[in-house]
A and B are shown apart, each in its own frame.
Chain A
Amino acid sequence: MKDFGFTITKDRQIDYDQHDHRLLQFVLENEPSFQACISCGGCTATCSAGNLIDFNIRKLNMLLRRGETEGLEKEINKCMLCGKCMLVCPRGINTRNVILKIKEAIQKFR
């Protein structure tokens, strides 16, 4: 093809049919309370790891729902399981179990 000097921006559309939803399904089946997340950010504000580096559970939720699970392992490994997020969550989500279940799912569907 002739080079006209233009670049084409990579397609950023998220194709829900293409993505791997096993992780999301596994987590929601085993910790249904995660359904209730309203992405308020309370967990992120209190997070011990988030205090040191960019890490938040809302982002995990988004990545899971979009099925963009490639970077998830790197992300989840930042958690220290201290449990502060669980205590501040206004929706009563068992966040620590969410983390453990994501870890388990990554191991399972690798």
Chain B
Amino acid sequence: MAYHHFVLPFSIGMAALFAILMVKFTIWIVKLESVDKRLIRKNLFSVKTLDAMGEVFMESLLHRKIFRKNPMLGYMHMSLAFGWFLLILFGNFQAQFYTRTMLHPPYFPIFFNFFVTTSEEYLFKASFEFLMDLFLLIVLTGLFIAISKRFYSRIVGLKKTTKLKFFDKLALTSLWFIFPLRLLAESFTSGLYNNGDFLTGSLGSFFARHLMVEKLALPAWWGYSLALGFFFVALPYSRYMHIPAEVLLIFLRKYGVRTRREFTSYSDIEVRSCSRCGICIDACQINNALGINNIQSVYFLRSIRERSVGDEKLFTCMLCGRCENICPVGIQLSDLRMTQRNKNGVQNTSTYDFLVPPKYKVADVLYFAGCMTHLTPAIKKSMLKIFDIAGVNYYFMDSDKEACCGRPLIQSGHYENAAKLMEYNKKLIRQSKAKVLVTSCPICYKTFKEDYKLNIHVMHHTEYILKLVEVGILLLEKGDSKVVYHDPCELGRGLGIYEEPRILLNKVARLLHPDEERENAFCCGGSLGSFNLSTQQRNIIRDDALAKLMKPNPDKLITACPLCKKTFSKGTKVQVLDIAELVAASVIVPEAKKALDMQKHETVLVE
């Protein structure tokens, strides 16, 4: 049996790592919500497991999403992860072909070149030696980029890279040492026995000529083993825990497990899956425009892990979702922030008993303008005009004294209070017997769609107007104004509505395209998600976003959210309009339709 004392650090480290991981994984899975466990049981033996394996390969090994962000950064992650994986995999194959048995100690393939120095032939010997050198070279090139990144992050397209803490640095350093030490150890041994392939062989003969390789080989192998052992022990307590955690996360996500309102075991797995790559820092407008760089998701998740979440990290975030959109691990970052804002059980003492029993009217379509739309009455008027021209039997449910939708309370963590308002609105919606609920405000829209659990169609007015146009009820005239469309966070990234407003705008105007749109669109800075940002700070964010939006030099800035409109119109001389206003101004009213409207039957008023 091949053995040498230097394998001990590696073996002990690996045993410790496996033991810790077993314990952690067991605790995570046992602590999962029973609903989530049911999901796992239901989907374990389905195609979803295969699907998850595919994703693990694509994301954990190849890092496809990081490639999309920046090819250099993608290559760095891929070479380290996939390169190392191939080294381990082919190392094992090589050992099996050599011993012709499945049974060999786990350290044997890792230190294969130390133990096997004779020129004894085995199947595919030359190919194995070539491949192992090639994989090592790939890993080393990745490592070179990684080390350069620490000193100059722009080479991988990152303006800012994560500031690391002690344990991360320790693990990082041992990781950096692993592969150069492996290269040295293998080269020294190759030099000693005059074998090895293009990399270790040529380096080996070079070393053999100039150095005393027989004295250096063993210390190098010791160093390699120590670096490995050190890294394995540090792994569960550093950011490298993301390597095993992400695999579990991908499986659970494929089975349908999601972040909940409370911080669950799944949320904990998400927190540990964060690799602290720092891609979220560059995406954050609070970093870009304000230079505040300690509240971004990477630091926020770390503070959850260290149990030191403060108000600043929690309530400064605008919940715009730009970081979530770009996160290569696909962590539900906004929802995770919400789990920490949760104030259930405290401060939920509102009764809202001043809300009178809701007035309602039986109608086909309910229109909910939302608080913010009442601040921008032009949107409200345009919508009412569109309803009238289209001859829709509608009821304006919050025309005067009505409740808020509840989303601002949800965003502040006061779910129990929000539930009281939601109950009130639900009652009104149910009684009106409407089939469709149209809202002008994406903030309300998101909560109506996701939290209310209504059994009727909920639509934002962009979707509804487009429907009216598509079925031919609304005729539009194409104008020649040049417009830029701003995607509101809650409508775009929040609910994935990107196409509808663009189709509509192409019908009424000339649509220009700014550099950052759709899922990369900026937040206007007015977001209700943030509670800490001062008006001055919000203005800076707004101006920053406006500067980028206005690059194509449009005549009008179009958005689909009353809050975005209100925010932007304070910061620019260019006319800012809601899409409903532009459409209402471009509607052609046929005479025949007018006559028909006169006969529109009276709707029944029920109290």
Contact = CB atoms under 8 A, between A and B. Distances in A.
Given A87-B526, A100-B412, A77 B534 contact: no
Interface stretch (B74-82, B235-243, B260-268, B342-350): B342-350
A49 interface: yes
Given A78-B352, A103-B347, A48 B531 contact: no
Nearest to A97: B531
B247 interface: no
Nearest to B371: A82
Interface string A49-71: 10111000000000000000000
Interface stretch (A4-12, A14-22, A88-96): A88-96
A66 to B, nearest CB: 23
Given A48-B371, A52-B354, A83 B412 contact: no
A107 B346 contact: yes
A46 B347 contact: no
B542 interface: no
B528 interface: yes
A73 interface: yes
Contact of A78 (B315, B354, B374, B566): B354
B401 interface: yes
A18 B14 CA distance: 67
Contacts, number: 80
B536 A46 contact: no
Given A73-B349, A81-B412, A97-B531, A88 B354 contact: no
Interface in B523-549: 526, 528, 531-536
A33 B403 contact: no
A80 B404 contact: yes
A97 B371 CA distance: 18
A104 interface: yes
Interface string B348-385: 01111011100000000000000110110000000000
B227 interface: no
Nearest to A93: B535
Contacts of A96: 408, 412, 528, 531
Given A80-B403, A81-B408, A82-B408, A100 B531 contact: yes
A95 B375 CA distance: 16
Q: Which of B371, B406, B563 has the most CB of A within 10 A?
A: B371
Nearest to A53: B354
B319 interface: no
Interface string B402-420: 0110101100101000000
B327 interface: no
A84 B372 contact: yes
Contacts of B532: 94, 97
B401 A84 contact: no
Contacts of A73: 349
B181 interface: no
20 contacts: A46-B375, A49-B354, A51-B400, A52-B354, A53-B354, A77-B351, A80-B352, A83-B371, A83-B528, A86-B535, A88-B375, A92-B534, A92-B535, A94-B534, A96-B412, A97-B315, A97-B531, A103-B347, A104-B347, A107-B346
Interface of B: 315, 346-347, 349-352, 354-356, 371-372, 374-375, 400-401, 403-404, 406, 408-409, 412, 414, 421, 526, 528, 531-536, 563, 566-567
